[in-house]
Structure 1
Amino acid sequence: ADLVEDRLKAEPGLVEVDSIRESTPPKLVFVPDQEKAALAGVSISEIAATLNTAFKGNNTQLLRVEGERNPLRILLQLPEEVRSSPSEHSQLFVKGATGAMVSLAELGHWSLERVDQTIYHKNLKPVVYVFAECAGRPPAECIVDVQTDQVPAGQTVPPLTEQTVRPVEQRTYFSNGSGLAWNVPAGIDVVFSGEGEWNITLDVFRDLGLAFGAAMIMIYIILVAQTGSFLIPIVVMMAIPLTVIGVMPGFWMLNMVSGNVVSGYADPVYFTATAMIGMIALAGIVTRDSIILVDFIELAVRHGRPLFAAILESRVVRLRPILLTAGAALLSSIPITFDPIFSGLGWSLIFGLISSTVFTLFVIPVCYWLLKARGPEAQN
């Protein structure tokens, strides 16, 4: 645990490194001499009662003070500065069987002993948890760099203080690691993201990804039922991937423009779970724009317009409704960006609406033309 803790402390972007290991001072234990106690007529229980009164305290009497509704308890106890000094404990006396007071120093001696640590287990194996907070860097990057620097057990590595940390700016997705080699003894396993917030984050994004997939399937089933075709819904849903083109680069540009620095560490705007929820909501919003275009095209073709002309007219005629609906949704998302928790949801809606609205006017007509170009609609 100490090796892992030292390595995490040396990693840039990791702060508040701590573990569940308790740093308790040694405890004072009085070891009685049973032979001397028997000769003095003092029992072990009397010694224990005296020590309990001296260290933990004992309520002896009640003191009534004028003006106080309830009587005050008188606590008999050694002062705090005396309790940790064995030399002062020799002044304690225990009453013997004959009534004589016997010094505690004549009945035994004091010993400093180590306090037993709490041993935690998981899956029948002893574990020690080491924690750390990320400041200015995503947890995934920190974990990857630390894992990359770990070398096999038994290999000789220099102390961390004698190694040079590679700057974060020089690290890439293909060249990870801080250049701080470290390892642990054989028989000890180091498992990252076992019970922390990063594991919870992975679970949340996994569940949201499944929800996103379920939403796509439901949208497809509804469109098939409405259009009576298995291919037209695919054309309509081509607007959904277009949101990613706006959301991911949008968050990158947002951090480039408005990146904050708190206490010397970068405070970026992350793609959070609420941003993922925004992408799921965008699946329904942008599909509506595609339906508006495709519906106009098919209506115009049924009224005798050539397919190519109907596609061109759909972009012109339906441009205003598409811009009005997208603009209304975009403006209503702006107040959400000021919330510290749901800001990701607002930014995801804004970036996704901008990209999907622009690309939908070009991609959807082209995809519809490619689908119908060899059909009877195009030949008529």
Structure 2
Amino acid sequence: AVRHVVVGTSGGAPVFLRDVARVQDEGAEPASYVMSHRRGGRSSPAVTLAVAKRKGTNAATLAHQIEDTVDAIRAAVLPADVAVDITRNYGETATEKSNELLFHMLLAVLSVSALIWLVLGRREAAVVLIAIPVTLALTIFVFSLYGYTLNRITLFALIFSIGILVDDAIVVVENVVRHTRLRASDSRGLAALTIRAVDEVGNPTILATLAVVAAILPMAFVGGLMGPYMRPIPIGASAAMLFSLLVAFIVTPWAAVRLLSHALGHEHQGEDRLTGLYRRAMRPLISHPLARAGFLAGVALLLLVALALVPLALVTVKMLPFDNKSEFQVVIDMPEGTPLEQTARVAAALAEEALTDPDVTSVQSYTGTASPYNFNGLVRHYFLRQAPHMADLQVNLRPKSD
């Protein structure tokens, strides 16, 4: 069809492309190479198919469905000499990380409860333990109103909040226990003592909670690429703090009246060993000016040392945290003007060298074109790497469980 294209006229007659040029259907000069490398120097051309999920879709479920579909068409549709390999399965990665975060969330809840049990008592720990699921349930409800799913970011926000949201309940429970021990023979009953104990610590608790919210919530207004990525953390943590305040003033007193009734009527108990140790440590700091000045100087010195860690490069400052995945990417930048074939040879040599490591299962090389990018590639604009002197290696490792 191209040979019959009219390119002009001569003497009133059309001039076709075949009249002035030779038209042949041949292969064009390659602009990129995508190769799959195996051990033993085996390399073959490859086509990478990247699948992106829609917003709100479960990545783990979608990954299983894609695997089932590939298995179904492998024998019926694909030729026998075409191999299909899954080089990245972020659905499996998401499942592993979600399960790990859920485990750490359970561990955090049990650790907080065990600490309160050790310091205040078994029933007091139960009162605080009631506040945790109530607050988390209300926070998850806020996530649903904002359209957030339970993913690694929102789960991290919940874990981050657990250590803070129990503070209000602990303050209320501790003061209730203190009043019951000081007024063991009070005839007004536990309910009246609980109301008085909550009223006594109400204003400081509100102020402390709002101070934490004021420190966390501004992160929700961060713009740019990181804004939507990090926004669930300040929103979730702020909502958890506000709900924990309500729970501490409503649910915790209710639970304390029902679970701490055994404490009323007991004689006043002396201070425990931990309280006595704290009193002995604080007495000189309060009564001696020189000790107070030395303590404040020590705190100021530690603050300066902490601030100096960043400019001294003793602490690594990164935009994104380190991620322990069973893969990594090698970015190759040859001198500008390097032919595509030479860049491809360098990429192949590096791939063969990587395959000498027994932990490496396969390597894919992308020369002159960008490899399918993840969030890290999106931040670093790796999708713009489409020059002949540029190449990427996708190195796949054995699973961490092996």
What TM-score do you get using the length of structure 2 for normalisation? 0.46
Greater RCO (CA < 8 Å, at least 6 residues apart): 2
What TM-score do you get using the length of structure 1 for normalisation? 0.48
Between Structure 1 and Structure 2, whose CA radius of gyration is higher? Answer: 1
More helix by share: 2
